[in-house]
């Protein structure tokens, strides 16, 4: 418990540090830019001297009480010139960036949405422009328009509009395929309305980043153009012209380059930092960082230290996998650790199929991944043991786990078209496993590949082994994924929704294949699914999960003929073929709570019709052969029998 | 329910052109091959099929998202096929849709109020307050409340988002809503809430639904009639109970047999029976004749060359299968009926 609280305080401290850092950055960048604008507006009143007033007697003096930043080659006050340079910088950045924005974004939106010839022609032009060095393009445009600040900024605006154009086009190309655009079209919104009202707001985050980058780049480019004499014309003061004259007198007075240099660096840095902060602030809830509507129960009170309470899993001699008291935590975005699996125990015997059934967010997929040690960044197993063939997997090193994966445990995923690598033939992908894990030679591996592909029921295996994943149908690809999983003859196969992406007639074939292969190879299968009917077909025993814990575990026949937990009963009666045609169909009220917002006590209590006062306490998983996590399980069972 | 169909699709073909050989040659892909369908006012037609059967293409054609290649799509007195994808406002506001994935069908940058009032902005002259009042009304219809107006889609669960999508589809009081897999992305425990909501709205307002789904058991629940699609063809059509309880076409039978049951014992018996049956030919798409013949257990020689037309079935509806050829030809009767 102490360890737990230390962990907590550490994570809290970490969070406040991060918060402070981003706050400090915002304040720093904001004040630099505010100062810049302030100086630009009031340059005439603030600057101690006229920036153009020459005094050749006092030329090139270092900083002094009279001239804080010294004087330049013509004896002009550097501080005054720097302050007047702010005005040029603000005008330049605003002018060029708005020109780029106004030219680039609408055109990009238009060609991205319209596509076809418009898109082709504009994009070729853009490619031509960006293939020439930017400064060259600017010089050409200035050669046509003539020199001077505003003309230079028009040149820069045209130049930078290409990056806005490409950004807007890219985002529109992606967004116009989104379902919400189809919805807008069905509603009857016109093309321009779809573009401006529906798609455009979603461009904002990348656009803001692009604007800040462009402002930075414009400041640098203005300095560069003025430096080579194409921008602001002497004697007017800009940071670029100041650098220009500083460069001429490098040997005599190096300090001249320092004030404009620091001004440019500080401004560009501030703009970029502020852009990042703004983008993060308006980012469109991608991480789904939502405060739960009901206050989350404090977790410390909810979880028993280990599986102290409740019945332990019945010991069985032929268990291949035995998980006890497993607890998995995931760190959420604000740095707090949230439990996603608690007190989870299960065992699978040789040749047995255990179904792990639950809805989204129940932790069933994560259970499979934590057995493989593949929870990923941000998650960790905090309690419990995972024994595979008598070996504690949690104590293995990452290297040893690599040996276990593939050899002793293998996995089949939901979507076969994405779980296979599109760059290699399917035969190669299976052969690779055999070579690395089993040390097969090239030839032996290939022979075995053909055998395996034949075994999973694919006709003409020699030919199909040379196919790429996209050339196969979903069912075929899943057969290949299964062949790959079985290539090293694992003792445990974890199948995560392996038929969910398939059509029912194909699903039936794949389920048959699992049965056949299990009869032949004798592996244990952990079958993760949300579909109770599929579980009824394929499983010997079933664990029903809800909100990170097992609520009921039973033999398949017993579970379906007499479900004991109210959640299991609710799920079964909600299945489409379970009820009659007449509405209303039976429902479970509310929705599955997200991790972090589970009710204290029984986690199903806020949706349960059988709730009593004692449901506010932690309920242990109880029973001998059948395990149920419900205080009223006995009562409900008698009631069901009547 | 009047007898005159609200939506009548006759001999509809939808063809996509896939680029191949570096874009030099384009290959046609016929997603829908001569489909006939009708939906009466206030009726729910379930359109069932596996992936690639063309059911979503029909939905997209009705919604004006994809132009039909040939055939007729008549809605009320309007011929939609002639309009291609440019429906006038008076047609557009009569046909709305609810899509499968509530996570991507709501614009992430809009608030619930924006989403619900968008159809009103496009099609009505309501002012801001009237629109807002209507949005609140709509939220209540789908058991959400006024406090949800200012929130963004990512603040809701999948079930709640689907409620918002339904509310938005109801905004213009359409005559037809196309439901494209409306619950298949939802948790089992929230699916029925949405189905009940759809029922409730239909009974209250007399909307017709064209329900696209892959799950026959689910479609059977909500639909008055069911049409089954296979590779772009409609192979069977009829009253919901008849199709579900005594399917005629061998494909419908296979589809129903493949849906797993909640009873493990029954499932074991089924598996044993399936194992006893001879294995089917692997090549599935038939180039000529009946499209299903290569997978069919009762294929005859006639199926190799001839395309079966729609034959009437006892208990209502039709099946495109020569097993029922003795029942007479519906296509021929229909052709005679249309002058």
- Residues of chain A neighbouring B155 (CB-CB closer than 8 A): 285, 290
Long-range CB pairs of A366-371, under 8 A, 24+ apart, other chains included: A366/A328, A366/A340, A366/A341, A367/A323, A367/A326, A367/A328, A367/A341, A367/A528, A367/A545, A368/A411, A368/A494, A368/A496, A368/A526, A368/A528, A370/A326, A370/A328, A370/A341, A371/A321, A371/A323, A371/A409, A371/A492, A371/A494, A371/A526
In this predicted complex, what is the ipTM? 0.86
Residue with tokens 């255990």: A354
Please name the residue of chain A whose CA is at the shortest distance from the CA of residue B267: A537
- Residues of chain B neighbouring A193 (CB-CB closer than 8 A): 122
For residue A396, the model assigns a pLDDT of 87
H or E stretch covering A631 = none
Q: Does B229 touch chain A (CB under 8 A)?
A: no
- Residues of chain A neighbouring B230 (CB-CB closer than 8 A): none
CA atoms of B149 and A173, how far apart (whole Å): 30
User: Where does the pLDDT of residue A639 fall: very low under 50, low under 70, confident under 90, or very high at 90 and above?
Assistant: low
CB contact under 8 A, B220 and A576: yes
Q: How high does pLDDT run on average in chain B?
A: 87
Domain map of chain A by residue range?
Answer: 25-55+65-282, 319-408+491-641, 420-489
**Portion 43-62 of B in contact with A at CB < 8 A:** 50-51
Peptide bond before A584: cis, by omega within 30 degrees of 0? yes
Average pLDDT of the segment spanning A151-176 = 89
Return the closest-CA partner of residue A109 out of A156, A166, A163, A161. Answer: A166
Q: Are B240 and B264 in contact (CB under 8 A)?
A: no
Question: Could you tell me which residue, B189 or B54, shows the higher pLDDT?
Answer: B54
Domain that holds residue B315: 251-337
Please name the residue of chain B whose CA is at the shortest distance from the CA of residue A360: B187
CB contact under 8 A, A179 and B214: no
User: Where does the pLDDT of residue A251 fall: very low under 50, low under 70, confident under 90, or very high at 90 and above?
Assistant: confident
Tell me how many domains chain B contains: 1
- Total length of chain A: 642
**Portion 167-206 of B in contact with A at CB < 8 A:** 168, 187-193, 195-196, 199-200
For residue B23, the model assigns a pLDDT of 55
Residue B28: C-alpha distances to residues A400, B23, B73 (Å): 53, 13, 21
For residue A162, the model assigns a pLDDT of 92
CB contact under 8 A, B267 and A576: no
For residue A274, the model assigns a pLDDT of 86
A268 Cβ contact list (under 8 Å, min separation 6): A215, A216, A219, A220
Average pLDDT of the segment spanning A326-337 = 81
Q: Which residues face A330 on adjacent strands?
A: A338, A379
Residue-wise pLDDT tens digits, A481-501: 999 998 888 999 999 999 888
Compute the C-alpha angle B185/B187/B191, nearest 5°: 85
- Residues of chain B neighbouring A592 (CB-CB closer than 8 A): 157, 187, 189-190
Residue B264: C-alpha distances to residues A352, A358, A577, B267 (Å): 15, 18, 14, 5
Residue with tokens 């940071």: A239
Q: Are A61 and A110 in contact (CB under 8 A)?
A: no
Note the Cα A94 to chain centre separation in Å. 34
- Let me know if residue B319 belongs to a domain: yes
CB contact under 8 A, A537 and B261: yes
- Let me know if residue B122 belongs to a domain: no
CB contact under 8 A, B154 and A285: yes
Residue-wise pLDDT tens digits, A1-51: 333 443 444 444 444 555 567 788 888 889 999 999 999 888 888 888 888
Average pLDDT of the segment spanning A112-125 = 88
Gap from A515 CA to chain B (nearest CA, Å): 10
CB contact under 8 A, B241 and A530: no
Gap from B328 CA to chain A (nearest CA, Å): 30
A·B CB contacts under 8 A: 193
Residue B277 scores a pLDDT above 80:
no
- What are the φ/ψ torsions at residue A599 (nearest 5 degrees)? -65, 150
Q: Does B304 touch chain A (CB under 8 A)?
A: no
Gap from B295 CA to chain A (nearest CA, Å): 11
pTM of the model: 0.81
Q: Are A586 and A579 in contact (CB under 8 A)?
A: yes
Q: How high does pLDDT run on average in chain A?
A: 83
- Total length of chain B: 339
Residue B29 scores a pLDDT above 90:
no
Residue B3 scores a pLDDT above 80:
no
Q: Distance from first CA to last CA of chain B, Å, rounded?
A: 25
The class that CATH gives domain A25-55+65-282 is: mainly alpha
CA atoms of B7 and B58, how far apart (whole Å): 12
- Let me know if residue B268 belongs to a domain: yes
CA atoms of A101 and A116, how far apart (whole Å): 23
- Residues of chain B neighbouring A184 (CB-CB closer than 8 A): 107, 118
User: In this structure, is the dihedral angle defined by the CA atoms of residues B123, B125, B126 and B131, taken in order, positive or negative?
Assistant: positive
Nearest neighbour of A577 by CB, restricted to B119, B157, B262: B262
For residue A9, the model assigns a pLDDT of 42
- Residues of chain B neighbouring A178 (CB-CB closer than 8 A): 104
Residue spans of alpha helices (H) in A408-541: 416-419, 426-438, 442-455, 461-464, 474-486, 504-521, 532-538
Gap from B89 CA to chain A (nearest CA, Å): 7
Residue-wise pLDDT tens digits, A274-296: 888 877 776 544 333 333 333 33
CA atoms of B99 and B179, how far apart (whole Å): 6
Residue A545 scores a pLDDT above 90:
yes
For residue A11, the model assigns a pLDDT of 45
Interface test with A, best of B260, B268, B296, B297 (most A CBs within 10 A): B260
CA atoms of A109 and A112, how far apart (whole Å): 5
- Let me know if residue B302 belongs to a domain: yes
Residue A304 scores a pLDDT above 70:
no
CB atoms within 10 A of CB A152: 28
Please name the residue of chain B whose CA is at the shortest distance from the CA of residue A568: B189
For residue A3, the model assigns a pLDDT of 39
Tokens (6 digits) for A23: 């706050």
Residue B165 scores a pLDDT above 90:
yes
For residue B333, the model assigns a pLDDT of 53
For residue A98, the model assigns a pLDDT of 94
Q: Are A69 and A82 in contact (CB under 8 A)?
A: yes
Dihedral, CA of residue A552, residue A554, residue A559 and residue A562, to nearest 10 = -80
Nearest neighbour of A179 by CB, restricted to B95, B105, B188: B105
- CATH number attached to the domain at A319-408+491-641: 3.40.50.300
User: Where does the pLDDT of residue A594 fall: very low under 50, low under 70, confident under 90, or very high at 90 and above?
Assistant: confident
- Residues of chain B neighbouring A577 (CB-CB closer than 8 A): 217, 259, 261-262
For residue A578, the model assigns a pLDDT of 61
- Residues of chain B neighbouring A557 (CB-CB closer than 8 A): 264-265
Interface test with B, best of A116, A177, A185, A186 (most B CBs within 10 A): A186
**Portion 105-144 of B in contact with A at CB < 8 A:** 105-110, 118-119, 122-123
Residue A301 scores a pLDDT above 70:
no
Q: Are B119 and A187 in contact (CB under 8 A)?
A: yes
Question: Could you tell me which residue, B283 or A89, shows the higher pLDDT?
Answer: A89
CA atoms of A602 and A239, how far apart (whole Å): 68
User: In this structure, is the dihedral angle defined by the CA atoms of residues A72, A76, A80 and A81, taken in order, positive or negative?
Assistant: negative
List the single range of A489-498, A534-543, A620-629, B36-45 with lowest mean pLDDT.
A620-629
CB contact under 8 A, B192 and A574: yes
CA atoms of B86 and B221, how far apart (whole Å): 34
- Based on DSSP, count helices (H) and strands (E) in chain B, helices before strands: 13, 12
User: Where does the pLDDT of residue A640 fall: very low under 50, low under 70, confident under 90, or very high at 90 and above?
Assistant: low
Tokens (6 digits) for B258: 């493949």
Q: Distance from first CA to last CA of chain A, Å, rounded?
A: 46
Residue spans of alpha helices (H) in B42-157: 55-62, 80-83, 89-92, 112-123, 128-141
């Amino acid at each position: 418990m102490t360890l737990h609280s230390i962990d907590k305080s550490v994570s809290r401290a970490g969070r406040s540090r991060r918060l402070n850092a981003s706050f400090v950055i915002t304040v720093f960048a904001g004040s630099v830019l505010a100062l810049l604008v302030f100086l630009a507006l009031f340059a005439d009143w603030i600057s101690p001297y006229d920036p153009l007033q020459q005094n050749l007697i006092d030329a090139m003096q270092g900083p002094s009480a009279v001239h804080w930043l010294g004087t330049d080659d013509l004896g002009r006050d550097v501080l005054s010139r720097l302050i007047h340079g702010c005005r040029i910088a603000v005008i330049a950045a605003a002018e060029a960036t708005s020109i780029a924005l106004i030219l680039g974004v609408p055109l990009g939106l238009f060609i991205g949405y319209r596509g076809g010839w418009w898109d082709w022609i504009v994009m070729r032009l853009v490619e031509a422009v960006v293939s020439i060095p930017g400064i060259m393009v600017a010089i050409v445009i200035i050669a046509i328009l003539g020199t001077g600040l505003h003309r230079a900024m028009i040149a820069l605006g045209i130049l930078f509009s290409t990056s806005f154009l490409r950004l807007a086009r890219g985002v529109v190309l992606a967004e116009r395929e989104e379902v919400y655009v189809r919805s807008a079209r069905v509603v009857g919104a016109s093309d321009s309305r779809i573009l401006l009202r529906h798609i455009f707001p979603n461009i904002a985050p990348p656009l803001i980043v692009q604007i800040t980058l462009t402002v930075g780049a414009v400041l640098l480019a203005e300095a560069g153009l003025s430096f080579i004499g194409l921008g602001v014309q002497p004697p007017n003061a800009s940071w670029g012209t100041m650098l220009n004259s500083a460069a001429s007198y490098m040997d005599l007075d190096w300090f001249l380059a320092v004030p404009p240099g620091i001004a440019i660096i500080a401004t560009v840095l501030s703009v970029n930092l502020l852009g990042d902060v703004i983008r993060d602030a308006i980012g469109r809830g991608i991480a789904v960082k939502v405060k739960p509507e009901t206050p989350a129960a404090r977790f410390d009170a909810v979880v028993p230290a280990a599986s102290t309470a409740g019945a332990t899993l019945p010991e069985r001699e032929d268990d291949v996998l035995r998980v006890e008291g497993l607890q998995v935590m995931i760190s959420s975005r604000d740095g707090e650790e949230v439990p996603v699996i608690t007190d989870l125990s299960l065992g699978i015997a040789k040749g047995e199929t255990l179904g792990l059934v639950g809805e989204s967010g129940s932790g069933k997929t994560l259970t499979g991944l934590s057995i493989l040690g593949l929870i990923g960044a941000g998650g960790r197993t905090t309690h419990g043991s995972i024994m595979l063939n008598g070996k504690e997997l949690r104590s293995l090193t990452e290297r040893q786990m690599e040996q276990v994966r593939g050899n002793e445990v293998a996995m089949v995923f939901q979507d076969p078209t994405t779980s296979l690598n599109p760059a290699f033939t399917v035969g190669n992908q299976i052969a690779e496993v055999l070579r690395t894990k089993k040390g097969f030679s090239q030839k032996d591996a290939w022979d075995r590949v053909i055998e395996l592909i034949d075994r999973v029921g694919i006709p003409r295996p020699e030919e199909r082994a040379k196919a790429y994943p996209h050339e196969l149908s979903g069912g075929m690809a899943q057969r290949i994924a299964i062949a790959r999983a079985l290539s090293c003859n694992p003792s445990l196969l974890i199948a995560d929704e392996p038929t969910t992406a398939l059509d029912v007639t194909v699903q039936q074939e794949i389920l048959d294949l699992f049965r056949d292969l299990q009869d032949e190879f004798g592996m244990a299968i952990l079958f993760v699914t949300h579909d109770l009917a599929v579980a009824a077909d394929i499983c010997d025993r079933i664990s029903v999960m809800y909100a990170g814990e097992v609520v009921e575990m039973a033999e398949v026949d017993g579970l379906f003929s007499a479900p004991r937990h109210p959640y299991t009963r609710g799920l079964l009666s909600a299945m489409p073929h379970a009820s009659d045609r007449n509405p209303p169909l039976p429902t479970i009220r509310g929705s599955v709570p997200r991790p972090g917002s589970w009710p204290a006590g029984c986690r199903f209590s806020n949706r349960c019709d059988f709730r009593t006062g004692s449901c506010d306490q932690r309920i242990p998983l109880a029973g001998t052969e059948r395990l149920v996590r419900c205080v009223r399980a006995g009562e409900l069972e008698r009631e069901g029998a009547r | 329910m009047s007898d005159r169909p609200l939506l009548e699709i006759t001999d509809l073909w939808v063809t996509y052109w896939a680029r191949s050989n570096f874009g030099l040659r384009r290959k046609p892909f016929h997603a829908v091959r001569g489909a006939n369908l009708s939906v009466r006012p206030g009726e729910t037609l379930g359109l069932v099929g596996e992936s690639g059967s063309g059911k979503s293409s029909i939905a997209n054609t009705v919604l004006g998202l994809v132009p039909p290649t040939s055939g007729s799509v008549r809605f009320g007195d309007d011929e939609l096929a002639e309009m291609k994808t440019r429906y006038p406002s008076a047609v557009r506001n009569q046909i709305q849709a609810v899509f499968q994935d509530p996570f991507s069908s709501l614009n992430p940058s809009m608030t619930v109020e924006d989403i619900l009032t968008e159809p009103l902005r496009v099609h009505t002259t309501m002012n801001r307050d009237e629109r807002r009042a209507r949005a609140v009304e709509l939220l209540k219809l789908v058991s959400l409340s006024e406090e949800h107006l200012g929130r963004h889609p990512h603040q809701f669960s999948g079930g709640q988002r689907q409620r918002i999508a339904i509310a938005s589809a109801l905004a213009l009081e359409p005559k037809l809503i196309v439901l494209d897999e409306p619950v298949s992305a939802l948790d089992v425990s929230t699916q029925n809430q949405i189905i009940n909501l759809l029922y409730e709205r239909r009974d209250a307002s007399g909307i017709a639904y064209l329900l696209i789904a892959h799950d026959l058991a689910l479609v059977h629940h909500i639909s008055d009639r069911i049409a089954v699609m296979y590779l772009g063809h409609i192979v069977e059509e009829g009253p919901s109970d008849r199709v579900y309880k005594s399917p005629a076409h061998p494909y419908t039978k296979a589809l129903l047999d493949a849906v797993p049951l909640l009873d493990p014992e029954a499932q074991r018996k089924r598996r044993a029976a399936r194992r006893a049956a001879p294995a089917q030919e692997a090549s599935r798409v038939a180039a000529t004749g009946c499209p299903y013949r290569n997978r069919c257990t009762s294929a005859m020689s006639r199926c190799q060359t001839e395309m079966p037309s729609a034959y009437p079935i006892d208990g209502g509806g039709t099946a495109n299968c020569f097993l029922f050829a003795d029942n007479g030809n519906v296509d021929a009767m229909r052709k005679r009926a249309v002058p």
